[in-house]
């Protein structure tokens, strides 16, 4: 199996907003990938302290390219946070062969279950039916959706300045799947199925 490398960032403040800081770290990795095209879709994110109530106070970045990991770990934002005593960053290490595999999945279907999203979709549907001259009818609602536990990670887009939420779930998987992540280092429900080591040992 191909060697993989990782480093960990631990948020030091006792009362830190773990989801907010995870979003900031993921945004930095996203920016790094945009500026280093060879890194695109090849860096995965893992949450070693993930549990039912929080994403935890640690985030890990994983890739097959050690130099890429070193480059990411020296991003200016991370250095500033370390100097301020807000982050602790590990050195880049090789992933142990014994690590179990997990998948952190961005599940956009979760966002569609919330009232704001439903209202926007109803509005769009009614506007479309008005334009086509068809009598307005509300879209059929399927409220029987059961959603496993998830966490919300707030993200800000550097290009548009928009803020939005990543809805993330953890899946346990039997085997390692080659690096194939979205631009936030996460797997998706469809085409991106990359796995990362489970560092919760």
The first and second tokens of residue 117, run together, are: 């999203």
Contact between 47 and 58 (Cβ < 8 Å) = yes
The alpha-carbon radius of gyration of the chain (Å, integer) is: 19
**Residue range 128-187, pLDDT digits in tens:** 666 666 555 555 555 444 456 899 999 987 666 788 899 999 999 989 989 899 999 999
196 DSSP β-pair partners: 102
41-50 pLDDT, tens digit per residue, is 999 999 999 9
The SS3 assignment for 138 reads coil
């Amino acid at each position: 199996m191909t060697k993989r490398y990782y480093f960990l960032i631990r948020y030091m403040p006792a009362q830190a907003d773990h989801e907010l800081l995870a979003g900031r770290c993921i945004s930095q990795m996203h920016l790094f990938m945009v500026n280093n095209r060879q890194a695109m879709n090849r860096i995965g994110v893992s949450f070693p302290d993930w549990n039912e109530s929080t994403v935890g106070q640690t985030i890990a970045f994983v890739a097959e390219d050690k130099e890429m990991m070193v480059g990411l770990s020296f991003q200016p934002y991370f250095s500033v946070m370390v100097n301020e005593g807000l982050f602790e960053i590990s050195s880049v290490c090789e992933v142990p062969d014994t690590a179990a595999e997990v998948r952190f999945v961005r599940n956009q279907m979760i966002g569609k279950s919330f009232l704001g999203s439903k209202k926007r979709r109803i509005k769009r549907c009614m506007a479309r039916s008005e334009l086509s001259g068809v009598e307005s009818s509300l879209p059929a609602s399927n409220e029987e959706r059961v959603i496993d536990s998830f966490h919300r990670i707030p993200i800000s887009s550097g290009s548009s300045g928009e803020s939005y939420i990543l809805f993330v779930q953890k899946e346990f998987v039997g085997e390692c799947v080659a690096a194939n992540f979205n631009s936030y280092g996460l797997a998706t429900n469809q085409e991106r199925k990359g796995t990362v080591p489970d560092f919760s040992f």
